[in-house]
Amino acid sequence: MNCRPHCGACCIAPSITSPIPGMPNGKPAGTPCIQLDEHFHCKIFNHPDRPNVCAQFEAVEYVCGDNRSQALETLNDMETATLPSIFFKDKS
């Protein structure tokens, strides 16, 4: 699957803990990457400073869904599901 035009969900929804040019401490979940342009394309797509986590991401149907909204929802759900347990209160 190729990236959907004007999507950028993978550059918004997930947190990135490695340095990004212009964001030396990475980025929190839900924050657009500073390298995301006005057309939702990565400005450093093939640049060596692009974080490995970004370079390793592949657009796949089960993550990207049928539209940008579905991609954002799935990636948000994945982000929440992988939070360390210290972020959840004990419900007992």
What domain count does the chain have?
Answer: 1
Q: Is residue 4 domain-resident?
A: no
Percent of the chain with pLDDT over 70: 91
Domain of residue 39: give its range: 9-87
88 pLDDT band, cuts 50/70/90, is low
- pLDDT over 80 at 59, yes or no: yes
In a domain, 92, yes or no: no
Specify the pLDDT at position 89.
61
What tens digit of pLDDT does each residue of 29-54 get?
A: 999 999 999 999 999 999 999 999 99
SS3 sequence, the chain?
Answer: CCCCCCCCHHHCCCCECCCECCECCCECCCCCCCCECCCCCECCCCCCCCCHHHHHCCCCHHHHCCCHHHHHHHHHHHHHHCCCHHHCCCCC
Q: Is residue 44 part of a domain?
A: yes
In a domain, 45, yes or no: yes
